[in-house]
Chains A and B, each alone.
Chain A
């Protein structure tokens, strides 16, 4: 069974704090993703990584950075948290199986972050 774990289920931080969200997957997947999910907006991609030390911006990277030093771990960093970053953050991983082959994403349980 694929397992994706996230460091916290609930987190409360103050405006201006630096926030680290950690994600670990145990299936040797090449690709890892960070999303945020907000009511009415669905899941929006913040960053993704297709290999160690590689990263690509998603749709809403502003105010975030990421780090992938090891294949199994993908960290999301909020450099200076703001109230508009209050959201549910979901990490996902997926394998790369070759062209034309369906492969799905596996999600972690999510971190509900509140910035006050």
Chain B
């Protein structure tokens, strides 16, 4: 079983729409959770960390459900510039980070 699983999409949404991505992880001892964004042919960059109580950064909201071992990312009022691949990342008790395969988002004018 993979450490981290994501729906690869693609998600094609109109500008202004709200879109949500989910991600599940297998190791209940996982400690740190992140969403990264990766543009085509670029390196991944941190979008936001995910905290136990949930957190928001502008149009982006991240939630963590430890009981069900899933993480979500909600994007409100989608912009064209939000088009990218979103990577779910989980770190367990060691030094290793585990990446999902990514969810592709295209925002359409």
Interface residues of chain A, those whose CB is within 8 Å of chain B, are 31, 33, 35, 40-43, 45, 48, 50, 56, 58, 90, 100, 102-110
Contacts and interface: CB of A to CB of B under 8 A. Distances in A.
Given A102-B49, A107-B45, A50 B96 contact: no
Interface in B80-109: 87, 89, 95-97, 99-102
Given A43-B87, A48-B95, A48-B96, 10 more contacts: A35-B99, A45-B96, A50-B95, A90-B43, A103-B32, A104-B46, A105-B46, A105-B97, A109-B43, A110-B43
5 contacts: A31-B95, A35-B99, A45-B96, A102-B32, A109-B43
Contacts of B42: 109-110
- Which of under 10, 10 to 19, 20 to 34, or 35 or more describes the interface residues of B? 20 to 34
B32 A58 contact: no
A100 B101 CA distance: 25
B49 A104 contact: yes
Interface of B: 8, 31-32, 34, 42-46, 49, 51, 87, 89, 95-97, 99-102
Contacts of B8: 40
B84 to A, nearest CB: 14
Contacts of A100: 31
A99 to B, nearest CB: 8
Contacts of B51: 102
A31 B91 CA distance: 13
A46 to B, nearest CB: 12
Contacts of A90: 43-44
A81 B101 CA distance: 25
A63 B97 CA distance: 21
> What are the 7 A-B residue pairs with the smallest beta carbon separation, nearest first?
A42-B101, A107-B43, A43-B99, A104-B46, A102-B49, A102-B32, A42-B99
